[in-house]
Amino acid sequence: MAATFSSRRLEVVKSSPAIKDFLERWPALFSETEIKEEFNRLTTISLEQKFMFNLDKYTPKLIGLMEAKGGTIGRKLKPIVQKLRQNLRIGMKREAVIHGLVLYLGEMQEELFKECHEDADCDLSADVLKILVVRGTAEDPVNVSIVLEGQEILCHCQNPAKACALLMGYIYGMNLEYPRELRYTFEVFQKLFLELDLIKLSPKVQALKAKLLSQFC
């Protein structure tokens, strides 16, 4: 994959191939190891390590900001904050923080996460960019997948937070646009969690960054 990187990038940027065609052309890229390597080739950044480090670093402050949020969004955040005050396992805590972050930014969790029960048929045909979370009777997901253009391209992502990091790898690797409905969430993923393209921030994300960094100054 390293040897074919240049030709692959030329194909991605010039042709913008459909996911189905790209999957047939470069099947090796649709694995966790290879998408991490591709992201590293593009950015020199360790995808999962950087994403999780900053997510965990900002978590205490994010919980405080969610707790202090008023109005309709504050009411929606209340059950997430209550959950985060419990002694959660790290994967569950990261998932809850991301759910809360989406709400805090005024966006909808359903635009990023699609929840299905393991006994139900889940129609993905209309899902352009989603994280599919399949749940059973236990609290932990049975499976977490990345969905692009109606296809599950990567299954068994361990937990939704990790799937978010890997999804950023595919967005960079395949030159995809962020969904307009989640532009602030993905801006935070890119510019605060992965620390890429920090020069220009939207006013909303700039304000969030200032609040988050105030804890560490």
pLDDT per position as a tens digit, 82-120: 999 998 899 999 999 999 999 999 999 999 999 999 988
Dist. CA 27–CA 12, nearest whole Å: 14
Dist. CA 195–CA 90, nearest whole Å: 22
Dist. CA 89–CA 141, nearest whole Å: 13
Compute φ and ψ for 123, nearest 5 degrees: -80, 115
Neighbours of 186 (CB within 10 A): 19
Is this model's pTM higher than 0.85 or not? yes
Asked if residue 19 has pLDDT above 70, the reply is yes
pLDDT per position as a tens digit, 147-191: 999 999 999 999 999 999 999 999 999 999 999 999 999 999 999
Report, as an integer, the average pLDDT of 38-57: 97
Asked if residue 215 has pLDDT above 80, the reply is no
